[in-house]
Amino acid sequence: MPEDFAKNISNIVSFRNILVHDYMKIDEKVIVDILKNHLDDFVKYIHYINKWIEENYYS
């Protein structure tokens, strides 16, 4: 995973923790904004994770 992407996705991971543990405090507009503007980041993240699994467990 490229370092610059890893830094960006770490913010999404932090958001996930807030979403799971403090979901009552989340502004719905923030969730919609993240999904509208960063959905591709989730897809890329899944791609990198799958690639890592394939390289480390199926090669």
Q: What is the pLDDT of residue 49?
A: 92
Kindly provide the b/e burial profile for residues 39-53, where b requires at least 16 CB atoms within 10 angstroms of the residue's own CB: eeeeebbeeeeeeee
Tell me the per-residue pLDDT of 40-56, one tens digit each, with 9 for 90 and over. 988 999 999 999 999 99
**Phi and psi (nearest 5°) for 35?**
-65, -35
Domain hosting residue 22, numbered range: 3-57
7-38, pLDDT tens digit by residue? 888 877 787 788 888 878 888 898 899 889 98
**Confidence (pLDDT) at 8:** 82
Number of domains in the chain: 1
Q: Which pLDDT score is estimated for 52?
A: 93
The pLDDT value recorded for residue 46 is 92
